[in-house]
Amino acid sequence: MIINNNLTALSALNITRATDAMLQKSIQPLATGLRINSSADDASGLAISERMRSQICGYDMAVRNVQDGMSLLQTAEGSLGDVNDMLHRMRELSVQASNDTLTSQDRSHIQKEINEIRDQIQHIAEYTNFNGRKLLDGTSGAYWSTSDVNLKIRTNGKVAGYEKANQVVKAESDYRIEIKAEPGLAQIQKSNIMNSAEDKRKEEILSTAYTEINLAEIQETSSNENWSYEDGTLTINKDGVYRITGTDNINGNSIKVSEGVEAYVVVGNVNLSTSNGISIYFADDSDDETVRLASEYTPNTLREISQFYTSEGTFIVSEPQELTITQGYSKTASITLYGEDSLYDVADKLNDAIANELGQGKYTNNAGKFSELTDVYIKDGKEYAALVIRSVIPGKDGELTFSGSEDLITALGLNTVQESSEGEYRISIYDLNSDDVLASDTAITGNVIKGALRSDIDVEFDSMSGILAVWNEDSDNYVVSSEGTYTGDVHLKNSRIIFQVGTNQSENFAVQFGDITSEMLSLDKVNVTTRESAMRSTAILDDAIDTVVRQRTQIVSYSNALEHAVLNLSNSGENLTDAQSRITDADMARSTMRFIEFQILSRSENAMLAQANQQPEAVYSLLGKDE
């Protein structure tokens, strides 16, 4: 029997401490619901569960990513739906404009509505975005740059191929485009012949003293201070009035009035021509004809020209009249005509509009010949002339159509004297990175290279690339010809919108949207100012509608794929969560049972510890201590 060390109590104490520790540990699962509350609970299980927890969080975020992606697709599809509706309206209007019950002015009003719709489509293309990311302006398909501002890229949808692993086959490249033009014909129009000016001094001229020149007596190289004769040309060098006699000898010769000379020449029945660019004009007087420069005639205003009056005698230009000029499909310029304008004023206004507003002046060495008076002749002291209106751009792209009031169009009476014809372009395309030849001397018509770089990329170039229009005095017309090979460079870089649809690095989903700007859809070529152009526009709008529908269909396929992705992610997340739960979640029934077990043991051990602490008191009996 010892009293310094109570081994029984010490043993009971140790057991009680261990039981208390186990009791405390059994409380944690009940408090947290977790089987593993620290690495000590299950080190390998904790590592596995943490990896699983990371995956589960990734699945949850991936589901949110996909749902955000579907919202982006719905934004794009909704905008495309609006564009689709507007295109249907434009087509409806083009069909209406194809009906010949409409006047030119009616069609011009329809064109205005079409232009407004086109501008709204352009606005949608430029500003449709999701969280600041533009969707429909082409930048979600490809980024591009060119060496020439007139060289443009059109993206129709996907612009890069993909392997099964979703890797881009070709993300970036540089191309060189060479174009050799074989131009067609550019359109020429003429107006009605109209009384453009009158000789206000006719009676005065014919009653003035004159100088007589007898052609029968003129010898080769004859001359005096008033006139000279050489190589079949009689040249008047001094101001005055001249009467030509001996006219039997004039056939095959020319009469020329020197530039700056105010001369009036009266001749008999003579065949006159021009020489050295100086124009000769005619005016009848009984049996004679008066020859003089056009500058000597006072131009008539439109008010004095009979064609500008209706059959009821109403002056067409009593109020200012707007005349709209449409080049090709839709590029437009406008001039305003006033009653006090002359035909010369009209010609100058038309020339300025074509050269500057429509931009044709940059293609020629002489920008002053797009519109002028031609076929000028004098009869009964009056100058008669027609407006000639020229384009230098071959084919449909350069055709000029005019719209305004029906009476104004009738008064001008424009007729095409030279029909336009399409030229041909020979195209060569080289990949500068791989040295591949994508096209070699390939013939195309029109100024759009379709699918040559990649299947969903078109290249548009200036229809005057490699073409120059030179004014020719002999033919009195522009001569349009090739000026060599046009060269331009294109840089393309693939652009995609990528959704992270999984928990790992490579688990993504790429979408691309095509360019639906009005230029890409060729809406800039929709022109309904004539019946023929309206019918062409209907076909253009059919193609535009098809393009938008194809993009909407692509978006639907994207959406369907993402819906399946959400289901797959949710299923994977659910099953992984179930597996992780089995590792980390506590079995509450088992934990409660263990808690009660340790709680009972703790109470029993405390009782035994109390008994063990009382054992040393037996020593008192040995010391004779009974109480």
pLDDT score of 420: 92
28 and 60 part of one domain:
no
Note whether 412 and 346 are same-domain residues: yes
Is residue 157 in a domain?
no
Q: For residue 498, is pLDDT > 70?
A: yes
Q: Answer yes or no: is pLDDT of 102 > 80.
A: yes
CA angle 178/182/184 to nearest 5° reads 140
Same domain, 109 and 212: no
361 and 253 inside one domain = no
* End residue of a domain, out of 228, 262, 296: 296
Asked if residue 453 is part of any domain, the answer here is no
Taking only the tens place, the pLDDT of each residue in 140-193 is 877 788 888 888 887 765 554 443 334 444 557 889 999 999 999 999 999 988
DSSP state for residue 226 in the 8-state scheme: S
Domain match, 286 and 333 both: no
Would 428 be classed as within a structural domain? no
- pLDDT score, position 361: 93
**Which of 296, 320, 350 is the last residue in one of the domains?**
296
Domain assignment of residue 221, yes or no: yes
- Residues spanned by the domain of 213: 201-296
Q: Looking at the domain assignment, is residue 80 inside a domain? A: yes
Residues 305 and 405 grouped into a single domain:
yes
Residues 533, 517, single domain; the answer is yes
Specify the DSSP element, H or E, that contains 467. Answer: strand 467-472
What is the rounded CA–CA span in Å between residue 626 and residue 123? 111
Highest mean pLDDT among 58-62, 196-200, 372-376, 582-586: 58-62
Q: Are residues 597 and 574 in the same domain?
A: no
Q: Are residues 46 and 10 in the same domain?
A: no
Q: Residue 488, CB half-sphere, CA atoms under 13 Å: how many? A: 20
Q: According to the model, what pLDDT value does residue 288 have?
A: 40
Domain count, the chain: 4
- Are residues 24 and 3 part of one domain? yes
- Higher per-residue pLDDT: 530 or 218: 530
Q: Is residue 327 part of a domain?
A: yes
275: Cβ contacts below 8 Å, ≥ 6 apart: 233, 254, 256
Assess contact for 115 and 329: CB atoms under 8 A.
Answer: no
Q: Is 434 domain-assigned?
A: no
Q: What is the CATH number of the domain that holds 135?
A: 1.20.1330.10
- In this predicted structure, the answer to whether residue 619 has a pLDDT above a threshold of 60 is yes
Nearest to 308 by CA among 221, 412, 442, 189: 412
Among the three residues 277, 296, 315, which one is the final residue of a domain in this structure? 296
Low-confidence winner among 144-153, 219-228, 526-535 (lowest mean pLDDT): 219-228
- Position 177 in a domain: no
Same domain, 355 and 365: yes
* Between 239 and 344, the higher pLDDT residue: 344
Please report the pLDDT score of residue 295 as a whole number: 42
Residues 401 and 336 in one domain: yes
pLDDT tens digit sequence for 258-287: 777 777 666 643 334 333 333 333 333 333
Measured distance CA(279)–CA(282) in Å, rounded? 10
The predicted model gives 466-485 an average pLDDT of: 89
Arithmetic mean of pLDDT, 9-15: 79
Q: What pLDDT does residue 290 have?
A: 42
